[in-house]
Every structure is written in C-alpha cells, then in structure tokens.
Amino acid sequence: MSSTITIPRPDDWHLHLRDGVMLRAVVPHSAQDFARAIIMPNLVPPVRTGADAAAYAERIQAAIPDGADFTPLMTLYLTETTDPDDVEAAFAAGVITALKLYPAGATTNSDAGVRNFANAHGVFERMEALGIPLLTHGEVTAPDIDIFDREARFIDDVLDPLRQRFPRLRVVMEHITTRDGADYVASAPEGLMGATITVQHLMLNRNHMLVGGVRPHYYCLPILKRSTHQDALLSAATSGNPRFFLGTDSAPHPTHLKENACGCAGVFSSPNALACLAQTFEDAGALDRFEGFVSRHGADFYGLPVNTSTLQLERVETPQPVPAPIIVGEETVTVFDPIRPIHWRVIR
C-alpha cells in the first residue's frame, strides 16, 4: 500500500553549495526539491561584500538546471571589518537576505570570523534598525571548552549578552544541537528569534558516530550530541512551534576528504533530506506537523510568502535505498545514510 502527502514546496534555510565544479554538481540536488535556500558564505575567500554576494549568486544561477525553480537567498560573512553601509546597500538592493556570524575557527572556512564581538557592534546596530537577520554558528571556540559544551557556552557567553545589548536584533540560531539551544529559542519572543535544525541531528546522536568504530560521514559541526539532546530537538521540530524550521546544513566534501586521518566536518543530505524527515516525523507520530517545519515556519520568520507550488511525497512499502554517491569531476560525494529504513520518497 502507498499513500501520498502534498505540501507547499519546501525551503532550505541553511545550505552550503561551495563553488566551482562542486557548486555545479550539488546545485541540481537542492533545486529539484527546494524552492529557496539560504546560502552560506564561507567560501575561500569568504563572501564579504555586496559585490561578492552578487557575483556568487550569478554563479549559482548559472548552475541551476533549465526549468528548475530555485532561488538562492544570499548572505554575507560577518567580519570585524564589515562595512555597515555596504550591508545596508546590499540589503536594500535585494542582493542579500541576512548576515552570517562565524566565531573564528568554529567550522569549515571560518578563520576570518569574529574574535572580538565589540568590533562588530556597528554592524549589529544597523542590522537591528533595518530588521536584517543575524544567522549564528552557535559555538564558542576557546580550546579549554569541551567540544560537546560549546553550544551552551555560546548562549551564555556570546548570544544572550548580544541580544540584551541589541534587543530588537532578529537572530537565527542555526543548526541547534542541544536541549539548551532548543529551550533558549523557545523562550525568546516570537518573530525575534528562530532556529534551524538539521536532518542528521534529528535522526542521529553521538553513539551513531562513535560506537563500533568512527563513522566519518556523521562528523559535522556542531558535533552530534547525547541522545537526550537529540530527543529535545525532535520534540522542538515536531512541536508545531513556528520558531523551529528546517535548515539541512547540507555540506558536501569529497569522500576521500571525509574518510581521512583529519576528516572534514559536514553531512551531504540534499538528495534525500525530505524523505528522511518525512520518516522521522511519521515515526514521531507528528506527520501532520511536517509541513509547518519544512514549508511554512521559515518563510514566516523571514517575512516571505509560502511557496504556491507544491511537492508530493509518497509512502511506499519497500524501504528506499540510500542515494548513490554523486560524481564531482574525478571525485565523489557520499550522501547521508540515515541508518533506519526510509519508506518515503519524493515524487519527481
């Protein structure tokens, strides 16, 4: 037996597309299922200015397959030398949607991130006045802080003081991974704070990555946490609370750089994210809230209309295979393996 659900075409509110040959290889996999996506700016060199963002958007547009309806929503990489006037001009022109805050050294290509947050206060003040969202990679990077505690410490040491100083600043705490993050976002005024949650953090915990051998394709940053945190994220995502919405954080790396003595952080989930999430919501008895999480809450937070086009998913009796690795030049990128049987597929 099969059944289908029809939802407004989803959006991905946190996506890495990279550049060059990788960009051209991965864009079609997001464009086939998602209508819009917030594009991360951590290239080498980073997307720092409005001109950088406009040029990157052109490269993305050139990689979108003919006939596909996909809109990249561009962001700037916040640094201590970001010009508030350039931010305002790029936002007013519709070139950018948000700014991304990477604490220096927190994740892939984040070395140009912020070390002294006071140096960015002029940008925060302008963003608060204009209603430009600040997207945060919510981890501190001090070497004496355990990697599993970095999100909670970011809330206490960075985010809460920042929000107290700029109380009308609109913030998205991206890819939350802890009960601390979920509780903090849930307690914030609606419309001023949201959070994205990834596929892997809903479906996996650190045991999946570490027990029985290290599984490098589950290594991402922020790192997978205890099962109690996974449960808290699942409760938040399936709650119907509009503060929580999908951001896959799909982050492609060549397979040989994941399966490496010093493997890269990132999970590539764009090809099967929606099928995995439909299974996750069904397993949680919350399939009726799936549409809100993937299609409505993020659009509402960003002040954008819900997509009028639709997408259909079908539940089938036979579990669906994990998609094959994608070819990127002479390399491959491994697709996320959710471990559990997936009985859903997108009808294309």
For residue 81, the enclosing domain spans 3-346
User: Which residue among the candidates 33, 52, 180, 249 is catalytic per the annotation?
Assistant: 249
pLDDT value at residue 114: 84
- Structure confidence by residue, pLDDT tens digits, 102-152: 987 666 666 677 888 889 999 999 999 999 999 999 999 888 999 999 999
- By percentage, how much of the chain surpasses pLDDT 70? 97
Counting the structural domains of the chain, the total is 1
pLDDT value at residue 279: 98
Angle of the 179-186 helix axis to the 227-237 helix axis, nearest 10? 30
How many CB atoms neighbour CB 57 within 10 A? 18
* Phi and psi torsions of 332, nearest 5°: -130, 160
pLDDT value at residue 263: 95
Q: Where are the beta strands (DSSP E) in the chain?
A: 3-8, 11-15, 36-39, 71-73, 75-77, 98-101, 134-137, 171-174, 193-197, 244-246, 310-315, 326-328, 331-333, 344-346
Which CATH number covers residue 111? 3.20.20.140
Instruction: Say which residue the tokens 């099967």 belong to.
Output: 272
337 is a catalytic site residue: no
Q: Which residue has the higher pLDDT, 1 or 220?
A: 220
| pLDDT greater than 90 at residue 285 | yes
Q: Please, which residues have CB within 8 angstroms of residue 151's CB and are 6 or more apart in sequence?
A: 138, 139, 176, 177, 178, 180, 181, 222
